[in-house]
Each structure stands twice: as C-alpha cells, then as structure tokens.
Structure 1
Amino acid sequence: MRPGATSRGGGTSGAVRDGGAPRAAGKERALTSVAAGTAYEAPGQTPRLWHVTLSVSGGEAPLKEVRRALEQLAHDHPFLLTSRYASDHAEIRYWEEARDLHDAAAVALRLWGEHRQTAGLPPWEIVGLEVIDRETYQQRVAEGYGPAPATPVGVHPF
C-alpha cells in the first residue's frame, strides 16, 4: 500500500481519515486537494507496452498474395514491426499499448480476423500467441534467448 493510503473495507465501522483511525460520528472530514497538473491513476490503469507475436497458418496460398496482404496490413496498421511468411503460415510481431496482458491479448486475437477482408489476408487460423511485457522482452534479448530484435522491420519470407 502506498504511504498515506487507507485500506478499503474489512475494517472497523465508521469513516476513515488520514491515519486510518475511525472518525467520530457527526465529525466533518477535511478535504485535501491535488496540485494543478497532477493526475491520479489507479494502479493497473496506466497503459504499458506489450510485445506480441501472432502465428497463423492454413492452406497454401500464393507467396505473392501473402506478401501483398501482409504489406497491406502493415500499411493499414503501422504499429506492425515485422512479418515473416511462407505459403502456409505467417508470424506477425509488434508492440501493443494496453492496460494489461488481457487487453493486449484480446486485441491480438482480433487482429487477423478483423483485417482479413480489408487487407486480403488468407483464411488462416491463429495457431499461436505470445504476449510479454517490455521488461521481459528486453531481458530475453539481453540474455540471448528471447525473440531476436525485430530488425529489419518489414515483411520478409521465412
């Protein structure tokens, strides 16, 4: 718990004030203000960066069409870092800004289906998803066992 914070629920009855002591019945509570320009954000509400790797596969498709579709997806959504592809599978890697892992994963799981028509993506299914926070990504790269840095950026064959 942060300094000066009070616990919610489960304590004594009555209102709680600065030191956490119950307030006497009928006593007014002093209000405090927040300095101008200061924003309060509840824990877990600040967006974080998540590294997403989405793997898809399915029936064979012409390589030129797969590449063109992935390039169109990258054009429509410039947050995509890199895509690797073959005639029957592809891998898309990018950074997602989201409140938590659940939100980042939900966006990633919708990406392929929602853009299948507009980008002309093959009718493949999602077969893999990895979502890791920025610190984990950086630690893996530094230790040499994580996903290689997404360079060069773009759409490339496997």
Structure 2
Amino acid sequence: MRPAYEFGDEVRVLRNVRNDGTYPGEATGALLIRRGSTGFVRDVGTFLQDQIIYTVHFLDSDRVVGCREEELQPADAPWIPSRFEFRDRVASRLPLAIQGRVLVQAGEIGEVIRVVRDQPGGVAYHVHFNDRNTLLVPETALIEAEHDA
C-alpha cells in the first residue's frame, strides 16, 4: 500500500467533507469542506491498516481534515463540477425510458449512488429509484428533490 500523494502535494477534494463527529467545535454532519476545494497534504497515515488517510490543510477555510485517497485527486487534474453528489436525493425532470419503455415517471425520487464525470454528454449519475435497477441518468434530466415537510 503506497500513498498516491506526498507531503506538500496540492490536492482537490472530490466530495463534500462533513463532520463525522471527530472535528472539534462543529456539529456532527456540518459541512467542513466543499467539493472542488484544494488544499495541501500535511501528513500521510493509515486507518485500520488498510486505508490511507491524508491530513489536508485547506487554506481558504483554514481547516485541516483527514481525507481518504479515493476522495482526492491532484489539484491540477481536470475538474468537472457537478450539481449533485453521492447520497443526494433527486427527482427525474422528465420520464426516463430505455428503448421506448418508460421506467421512471417525471417527478419520481431517487438517490445518487455515483457521480460519473467522464460521460461524453457531460456529468451523469448512477441513480437508484425504489423497486428498480440503478440507472445512468444525465444531469440535465434531474432536479433537486423537494425536502419532506
């Protein structure tokens, strides 16, 4: 297990970082670092002997947080911002069909399972809709799900 980043490397975080209860002075679940933010690796360590954890200093917010390797990319790598992220609740903006068969009606709620940034038409998402398979849905076909009252 060799680290991809070293002390001083500038990295970008790929998803929002929220407090898991280990960041002092902030409520559990509070947003600490917004996806797309860049910072510098200050330390490299391991967790449970099988996960590399990087201590990253995000200068804009002056926060130091731990990030897993899969949450980071080099700061100079292409970055394509996305509207939604993992676990966001979304609604279909229009009926979703495969070969003319409608699988999801407009307005149905699903959950983002994965953000796919390398699609030819732009950002797309693996979205799970209840009682159906997970579908690959372009960003343009989704809207934010309304919050429950």
Q: 1 or 2, which has the higher strand percentage?
A: 2
Q: TM-score range by the shorter chain?
A: under 0.3
Rg: which structure is higher?
Answer: 1
Q: Point out which structure has higher relative CO (alpha carbons under 8 A, 6+ apart).
A: 1
TM-score, normalised via structure 1 length: 0.20
Q: 1 or 2, which has the higher helix percentage?
A: 1
